[in-house]
Structure 1
Amino acid sequence: MADVTELRSYQLGVSRPPLSLADLPEPEEVFGVRRLGPKELVKYAIGPSLIALGISIGSGEWLLGPQAVGQYGFVGVGWVILVSALLQTFYNVECSRYVLATGEVPVVGWGRVPPGFLLWVPVSVALVIFAFIAGGWAAGAGQGMYALVHGELPRSGAEEPRLWAIGLLLVVFAITASARRISRALELANWLMVVSILIGLLLIDLFIVPFELWWEGIRGFFTPASPPEGITATQLGALAGFTALASGLNWYVMGHYRDKGYGMGFRAGYISGLRGEKRELLPVGVTFPDDEANTARWRRWYRLLLTDMWGVFFVGAMLGMLLPTILMARAVELSGETPTQANVPTFVAGVLDVEYGRFLFYVALVLGVLILFSTQLGIFEAMVRVTTDAAHATSPALRKLIEGDPRRFYYPFMLLLIVVISVILHFALPVSLVQWSANMSNLGALIFPFMLMYLNSKLPRPARPRPWHYVLLGANVLFFGFFFVNFIADFVGDPLVTF
């Protein structure tokens, strides 16, 4: 491959136009500061990890993790959580590496993998839609809203919680429609929700959870042990898939680094809200020449990415799993009962009501709604974003039809999804829907790590991964891929393993 300094453009992969060349910007230029110190880092640079974390502290942490721990305990379950979080955070970094180096979001980048975009772009969009359109995250939030409004837990099969779930989808539409820059609005919303969630859970846990349970929860993360008797590999696969984020489909959130302006994302543009001005969004990305100055800038951007992902996302995801699970374990101790698929979204609130009164009942419900709504906000918007980015980048006819303004596709498609999800919500319990989504996410781990290896190996030299990065991408395939294969085996007949 020719050195990029010898070229005016850089052909990466197949079937898509070559990337144009431009210098990487300095972080200070992007964030509009004289010096990027700790204060500026928190105020301006951290952001995409919070959107991912808002999704992360959700279905896995409030539904699947607490249900598994509530039924089976920490040992044999906790290590699955830790391994999943480590592998997913690393995978997130590798997905984001491509975004920073090219200004292209992953769904567009997949179109550069042989045989080309006619296969991989539609397949990628379909997998994201198929995995998340079930709406379990929305149904769970709707149950919490019902309990919050009526002061009692909803009966099984009640219609009103579904109406609340649909109403919260409309709230997501309102948040994005009122934004000048959609990604920034999501960041600010998640700053508020994630901080409130973690502080609220910490205070409740300090108040009611004894030290022994804290230690049992922490020890469970680091104790290799066989899964507990009675748990199914499908349950473990759902827990692994939705711990941290969404295993092999995590890439669907990493496009926010482009809109934040990280690396070459600053040159590529972003999707603005209805209140913002029309912004150009390049259909083809931009990369940087392989020279000393750009290499130094790349290292700065990569360090920012590592700080955002490992310092915020990973730490937050582990706390987001520990705090709800030890709270659930305490609720099981106090009540002598175990959560079921039907009542897990509001189980803790019901126990706290009996043991400590109405105040903690409402606090738990508010936290549950915030947790599941932050997930709902991120997932729902990301489905719209992925489809918009894919259509805008690959269809000149669409770009002409919408006059180069992706908002003219983004918002009508969001309204269409609201209608479709509103129908699907009526067909299954929230936890069943979430388990389906999580195991479908594991399917992505059999596909996208290999595609990422291909793309990242062809980036400009300073941005390419080291050899051990490929080994860890392979570990993602083995770990999450096993759970998906088992899920399919269980779905059509007998699971591969039983405990």
Structure 2
Amino acid sequence: MMGNLSILFPSQPLFELVPMSPDKKADAELAPWPGSHAMPRWSVGELTDAPLFQWKNALAMIGPGLVMGAAAIGGGEWLAGPAVTAKYGGALLWIGTVSILFQVIYNIEISRYALYCGEPIFSGKFRIPPHPMFWVLIYFMLDWGSIAPYLAVNAAIPLEAIFLQRLPDPDNIPRDWWVHKFVATGLYLLVLIPLIFGGKIYNSLKVVMSFKLVAVITFLLFLGIFFSRPATWGEIFSGLFQIGTVPVLRGEDLNGNGILDPGEDFDRDGRLDVNEGLPPTIDTNGDGNPDAWEKDAEGNEIRFRDQDGDGKRDGYATENVFVYLWNHGTFPTLNLSLIATLGSLAAIAGNGGLTNAPISNFTRDQGWGMGSKVGAIPSVVGGHGISLSHEGCVFVVDEESLPRWRRWYRHILRDQLFVWMGACLIGVSLPSILSVEFLPRGTEASSWTGAAMTAGGVQDRVTDPAPGTLAYMPALRSLISGPNLGRFFWGATLFCGFLVMITSHTTTTDGFVRRWVDVFWTASPQLRKLPGTAVKYVYFFVLCGCAVLGLTILWTMDKPGKVFEMSTTFYNFAFAFSSWHTLVVNTTLLPPQLRPNWGVRIGLVLSGLYFAALGLLMSMKLFGYIS
């Protein structure tokens, strides 16, 4: 961790201060116009000083990290995370940790750009040659996942379960299908309300996300403290840092003695399990290598034989690549059947895709750095007197402004490292504690039913606390457990899942609209003729168009889980490309004194490689190249 911090807090200055001569200072005050001249020239203003950090006003200084950190407790943490941990425990959570660390570097870098010129990072990307319209086509293709209403669709499942008092089955019960469509539609429209009222849209989001953060973390902490065993907390915490651990298929008898020795009971069922998986036997493409399985009478592939009659496939396990390589001299054989879910966890652990980009917009709307000279996007209702400039405003880099710049940069570091990253790590950990503690190891939890299945496990545990938990103690057992409380916590867990996903959909929708409104507000010659207060109408128009597209996808798609996988596949490719593009922006458009050091540049390159590799593996899974 200290190695990563040294990248973000370089011990040596990035540059030396050289006093400007009067002639050079006069030249510098001419408004710069870097990149494509299809974008407007920047104006020049004075960089105000960053607020002095004091513990007594620490909450008042929290900015974009709060909104985006609360948004980060969303689909990846509530859907993909439990789907992974229910099957493999906490050992694979390091994938989310690495994703979050790369996103921290990215978030700080896009904020660096906004601090300098008051523009969001998307406007900076469109300043890179050849032309803004070129980047419109590229990013529209990459931003498809943000339009797909997978969060609203998944938020509908736990809400329907509360009213139906059972898990809905829209695939097989026609009535459930119609109920699911109408509930999802209502929720999708509900997320638009905070984006229409409240003055600054950013302020409305801040209120909603503050409530979500407090409510969700308080609820999950209560369950984790009183109904989870210390060993589960240890498993989750250690899993965040078990870098190199991968999923494999193998039996539990590691030493071959036929006895269930300590450490071999991977799924904690008290039996010595064997790998029940069956190899493919059908050669579909005639290459001599079987690549498909025989099917049963119902058309399902026969991928395993249930030898012990427990109703589930045994043999899921994990290995650490580095330990296995040291002991055996070869790499373990990976089980890539869950690669789509693992890739989804990495894609939206934290924020992911292009949904991180609004951090730079919020940096501006918060008035940080040069954002105070530019303005903000007002809501259609209540946004009187708030306007947004069509172009950025930069400051003259000299011996007076550079110390102020450093203080703003440290301000961003605090917000991202302590608020955003802290919320993300908590958001990955706490929902996973529920699935590890309350679901049997090896549970097949699909992404869109995982929240409801976890709620059933919570109900059983609250009804009858397990030995080793605080709730098992006689003094507490009669107070916080029993059948009635079990049923209450079943509903509360479902509602918590609903709250997590529906609020995250609000920020995802706002982020998509905000990205494109900001870009066109700056890049379009026609929109540049409008007064600054008219941006709220542009925002509302794009919001309505986004809603139409989202509802079209909602009513035409059949499998919510498939849309989730496709969306997160695009997220991985989008974040990879955006990382590299941000590196280009900050090393070409910013003055040399303000550009990132080499440690940060390498971090952005590695970030792109990490997410591009995951996107490629997920694509191979989606198109059937990985079974």
Q: Which of the residues 364, 368, 372 maps onto 1:266?
A: 372
Question: What are the Cα deviations for residues 264-307 of structure 1, in whole angstroms up to 9, with x where unaligned?
Answer: 11111111112121433112111111112211111111111111
Identity of aligned residues (%): 27
Question: What are the Cα deviations for residues 314-367 of structure 1, in whole angstroms up to 9, with x where unaligned?
Answer: 011001101101111112139x84322442131111222344321111221121
The one-letter amino acid of 2:27's match is: E
- State the partner residue of 1:196: 215
Q: Which of the residues 171, 194, 202 maps onto 1:175?
A: 194
CA distance in 2, matches of 1:20, 1:85: 35
CA distance in 2, matches of 1:40, 1:125: 41
Give the match's secondary structure for 2:43: strand
Give the match's secondary structure for 2:40: coil
- State the partner residue of 2:579: 449
- State the partner residue of 2:413: 306
- State the partner residue of 1:32: none
- State the partner residue of 1:331: 438
Which aligned pairs between 1:220-369 and structure 2 lie closer than 5 A? Answer: 220-229=239-248, 230=335, 231-247=337-353, 250-273=356-379, 274-333=381-440, 337-355=443-461, 356=463, 357-369=486-498
Q: Which of the residues 69, 74, 78 maps onto 1:62?
A: 78
Question: What are the Cα deviations for residues 438-468 of structure 1, in whole angstroms up to 9, with x where unaligned?
Answer: 2111112342222212221231344211111
Verify the 8 A CA contact 1:136 1:432 in the aligned structure 2.
no
Decide whether aligned partners of structure 1 residues 221 and 36 sit closer, same or farther in structure 2, where only a CA change above 3 A counts. Answer: closer
Q: Which of the residues 454, 457, 470 maps onto 2:601?
A: 470
Give the match's secondary structure for 2:34: coil
Q: Which of the residues 497, 502, 507 maps onto 1:378?
A: 507
Question: What are the Cα deviations for residues 133-154 of structure 1, in whole angstroms up to 9, with x where unaligned?
Answer: 2211111111122223444332
Comparing 432-441 with 296-305, greater Cα deviation is found at 432-441
Comparing 17-26 with 189-198, greater Cα deviation is found at 17-26
- The alpha carbon displacement at 1:49 in A equals 1.2
Comparing 176-185 with 162-171, greater Cα deviation is found at 162-171
- State the partner residue of 1:13: 35
2:46 is equivalent to residue 23 of structure 1? yes
- State the partner residue of 1:488: 619
Verify the 8 A CA contact 1:258 1:269 in the aligned structure 2.
yes
Give the match's secondary structure for 2:621: helix
CA distance in 2, matches of 1:123, 1:252: 18
Decide whether aligned partners of structure 1 residues 90 and 490 sit closer, same or farther in structure 2, where only a CA change above 3 A counts. Answer: same
CA distance in 2, matches of 1:464, 1:4: 20
**Alignment coverage as a number of residue pairs:** 485
Give the match's secondary structure for 1:153: coil
Q: Which of the residues 128, 140, 144 maps onto 2:154?
A: 140
Question: What are the Cα deviations for residues 197-242 of structure 1, in whole angstroms up to 9, with x where unaligned?
Answer: 1111111111211111111111111223441124433332221111
CA distance in 2, matches of 1:395, 1:238: 35
Verify the 8 A CA contact 1:121 1:390 in the aligned structure 2.
no
- State the partner residue of 2:561: 431
Decide whether aligned partners of structure 1 residues 263 and 74 sit closer, same or farther in structure 2, where only a CA change above 3 A counts. Answer: same
CA distance in 2, matches of 1:406, 1:55: 24
Verify the 8 A CA contact 1:47 1:260 in the aligned structure 2.
yes
Verify the 8 A CA contact 1:143 1:162 in the aligned structure 2.
no
2:516 is equivalent to residue 387 of structure 1? yes
Comparing 8-17 with 212-221, greater Cα deviation is found at 8-17
- The alpha carbon displacement at 1:430 in A equals 3.4
Verify the 8 A CA contact 1:110 1:121 in the aligned structure 2.
no
Give the match's secondary structure for 1:21: strand
Give the match's secondary structure for 1:228: strand
- The alpha carbon displacement at 1:106 in A equals 1.5
TM-score, normalised with respect to structure 1: 0.91
Which aligned pairs between 1:116-155 and structure 2 lie closer than 5 A? Answer: 116-128=131-143, 130-155=144-169
TM-score, normalised with respect to structure 2: 0.73
CA distance in 2, matches of 1:54, 1:293: 36
- The alpha carbon displacement at 1:59 in A equals 0.5
Question: What are the Cα deviations for residues 102-146 of structure 1, in whole angstroms up to 9, with x where unaligned?
Answer: 111112111111212121134324422x11222111111111222
Give the match's secondary structure for 1:255: helix
The one-letter amino acid of 2:108's match is: V
Give the match's secondary structure for 2:439: helix
Question: What are the Cα deviations for residues 453-495 of structure 1, in whole angstroms up to 9, with x where unaligned?
Answer: 2221231344211111100001101111111122333334514
Structure 1 unmatched runs, 5+:
29-34
CA distance in 2, matches of 1:146, 1:23: 54
Higher helix fraction (1 or 2): 1
Verify the 8 A CA contact 1:56 1:244 in the aligned structure 2.
yes
